[in-house]
Amino acid sequence: MVRTVLTCLVLGWLTLTPGAQRSQASSFGGREELRHEPRPNVLVIMVDDLGWRDVDATIPTPSIDSLVAQGTTFSRVYSSPICSASRYAFLFGTHPFREQLGFWINAFAAGEVSIPLSRVAFPQVISAQGYRTLMTGKWHMNTVEHLNSLGLNPYDAPRYFGFETFRAGRIGNLSGMNTYTSWVRSDDGVTSNSTEYNTSAIRRATADWWQATPGPKFAYAAFQAAHEPYHVPPVELLPPGYALGGGNRGLFEAAIVALDTEIGNLLSVVDMRDTMVIFLSDNGTPPDAIAPDQEWFKVKASAYEGGINVPAIVSGWGVRHGAQSDALISMTDFYATLLDVLDVPVPAGVAQDSVSFEPLLRDPRLPARDWVYAQIFTPNGPGPHDFNAKAVVTATRKLWYTDGAEAFFDLASDPTESSPLSVFSDPALYGELRGYMNALEAQGAP
């Protein structure tokens, strides 16, 4: 119901004098002008395969709606169209192509891309500043082969990148013999068989650690839901009388509703007055679970908006409540932004593609980037590649490229990307966007 809620919200504030801003401190969720209070706790809720169409009025998501009411919704956040690449961009502040990463990482494949331990993830930086750190759920950044070759436990991978604790974890997807109710879990590198519903296990592990751990603390709850395998969730996580829809879409929506219930349970142990909560999805709707008004080739694994423009909410401490921003933001930008929020400088030589949007948390009307970039290619590695799709997006225009074909869109008048413009309609802007793409290709983007 996020879209419905947003239509009912009004920013409701004008530019204030400094004195007036101090008198309105509650609208910032606890942040004071001079930041004399301790640094906040941070909770990141990363969900899997939810597009904007999956958090609208057709699906009951009261917990996500509460985050909208207590924060700022960012409607123009751009991710990669696939999970591993997006999660890499978030944790390392760098475009995935710089790691020769364009697709999901098969943790059990020989010769697959695996993130080197020399890369500096966000939790490594804040751990050095006294933050306690937790990851739960899906990692998807390394291979068994790579970590075994270093004499390391592949099922403990997040702890090599700054996470003090890794609970209810998976190094990859739920797939094959691993279902939502029968799966192998990792807890600080120790594996065990679990029959606890995966979404509940991730919520429980996060909540238990959160309640037992003094601040300042950072938790990254990387849910598998609502990614396949499609299934019927436990009835107690669905509203009374919930009508299950048919096919993959019905099961997918039910998993979203169950996920929302567990998000609510997790938030019940979080004090929003001293915690910034970030809700994100890694990419858009999966092609085999689309809504009736969606086209299968314009969602996950594509460079269309349905694959790369993802739901994003920043809520709680230090954020305008009930606000919305349409500023352009890349998934890479959360790295520099969170360090800004925590008053920690970005270390030299890391997060090279991360641009802080911290000022937008206080004034969502401010601009941010002029353009963002997203890409998917297969296979991972230096190539040759059998599929390559990418896009450069500005406030209103978009240059889309897939396997040698280009399209130029006006997103303001054609949000469904159904009617490409002639490049001659605005040759100067087309040339500018092509220039951005060319520059990234010169830096290694396929």
pLDDT band at 20; cut points 50, 70, 90: very low
**pLDDT at residue 140 is higher than 50:** yes
- pLDDT of res. 254: 98
Cα–Cα distance, 425 to 427 (Å, whole number): 6
**pLDDT at residue 143 is higher than 90:** yes
User: Per the structure block, which two tokens stand in for 166?
Assistant: 């890794």
**pLDDT at residue 17 is higher than 90:** no
- pLDDT of res. 319: 95
| Length in residues, the chain | 446
Per-residue pLDDT, averaged over 312-336, amounts to 97
Tens digit of pLDDT for each residue in 184-235? 999 999 999 999 999 999 999 999 999 999 989 999 999 999 999 999 999 9
Residues contacting residue 438 through CB under 8 Å, at least 6 positions apart: none
3-state secondary structure (DSSP) of residue 315: strand
- pLDDT of res. 291: 95
**pLDDT at residue 265 is higher than 80:** yes
Backbone angles phi, psi at 307, to 5 degrees: -100, -25
Domains and CATH numbers, the chain: 38-365 (3.40.720.10), 375-442 (3.30.1120)
**pLDDT at residue 437 is higher than 80:** yes
Per-residue pLDDT, averaged over 121-145, amounts to 97
DSSP letter assigned to residue 430? H
pLDDT band at 37; cut points 50, 70, 90: low
pLDDT band at 118; cut points 50, 70, 90: very high
- pLDDT of res. 6: 39
- The residue whose two tokens read 């910034």 is 276
DSSP per-residue string spanning 56-68: STTS--HHHHHHH
- The residue whose two tokens read 């879990």 is 185
Tens digit of pLDDT for each residue in 147-184? 999 999 999 999 999 999 999 999 999 999 999 999 99
Cα–Cα distance, 241 to 256 (Å, whole number): 16
pTM: 0.92
pLDDT band at 57; cut points 50, 70, 90: confident
Per-residue pLDDT, averaged over 316-321, amounts to 95
8 Å CB contact between 123 and 152: no
8 Å CB contact between 186 and 172: no
SS (H, E, C) 202-264: HHHHHHHHHHHCCCCEEEEEECCCCCCCCCCCCHHHCCCCCCCCCHHHHHHHHHHHHHHHHHH
Which of 27-41, 61-75, 186-200, 311-325 is least confident?
Answer: 27-41
- pLDDT of res. 3: 43
